[in-house]
Amino acid sequence: LLRPGEHTRVGQSAFSMLHPGLAAELDHPDVAALIAPRPLLLFGSPEDKLFPWDAVQQAWKSLGRAWDRGAGLQTRTTAGGHGFDLQQQRSAAAWLSG
């Protein structure tokens, strides 16, 4: 997900920018995998302009290897691009309370 020229590599501020040099060593899926085997829910959209869909799919595949046969990891494909709409919020709340 940290391809040259992508938004997180061109000066945008985010949690991943808080640790100088982190992006040289770890990509977003590597950092997320550090919580395995605890549950993780991720949403992604093929229309997302910030995270290329092919990279998201590769990240999800990589994360699946960090969990035992994917147990505890849930990925959900959504429409509409980069966002967290009301339906996704409700889905996440149900997952958290489940």
Q: What is the pLDDT of residue 50?
A: 85
**3-class SS of residue 86:** helix
Q: What is the pLDDT of residue 20?
A: 75
pLDDT in tens, 2-45: 667 666 666 555 666 667 777 788 888 998 999 999 999 999 99
What is the pTM for the complete model shown?
Answer: 0.78
pLDDT in tens, 32-90: 999 999 999 999 999 998 889 999 999 999 999 999 876 799 999 999 999 999 999 99
What does DSSP say about strands 40-44 and 73-77: parallel, antiparallel, or unpaired? Answer: parallel
Where are the strands (E) in 1-98, listed by range? 40-44, 73-77
Q: How many residues does the chain have?
A: 98
